[in-house]
Amino acid sequence: MGKVSELSMLVDELKKCGETLIGISEELTELFSSTELEKQPIKKSAAKMKEPEPPAKKELTLEEVRAVLADKSRAGFTEQVKELLKKHGADKLSAVDPAEYKALLADAEVIGNAG
């Protein structure tokens, strides 16, 4: 019976990991989604799965915004990133008002995506 209970514990742990990953993916989708219409709920294959608690809305951090802008800059869009910073009232990211972070990320999303 020891192996069965061990397997049962492993299955439970795997379910928790899956729920955590779903929560993370939903939060990332929300973070990088430019409109509410683009969001689509993730379909769950098993009705028995517990619904994960919705992640609390958190403020964006300087580090999160810096990571996105650094990726854009490395992709060859340094000038566009500098223009965005100026548009949001600063010459460097650390001078941008944290209230502007969400709008700044929304503007940064379109860099390199325009066809």
Q: Can you give the pLDDT at residue 37?
A: 47
Q: Can you give the pLDDT at residue 24?
A: 86
The Cα 10–Cα 86 span in angstroms is 51
Q: Can you give the pLDDT at residue 85?
A: 92
Ranges of the chain whose pLDDT falls below 50: 37-39, 46-47
The Cα 108–Cα 33 span in angstroms is 12
Which residues make Cβ contacts (< 8 Å) with residue 78, sequence separation at least 6?
A: none
19 with 46, same domain: the answer is yes
The Cα 110–Cα 98 span in angstroms is 20
Task: Count the domains in the chain.
Answer: 2
Q: Whole domain around residue 90: which residue ranges?
A: 59-115
10 with 27, same domain: the answer is yes
Q: Can you give the pLDDT at residue 78?
A: 92
- Secondary structure element (H or E) that encloses residue 72, with its range: helix 62-72
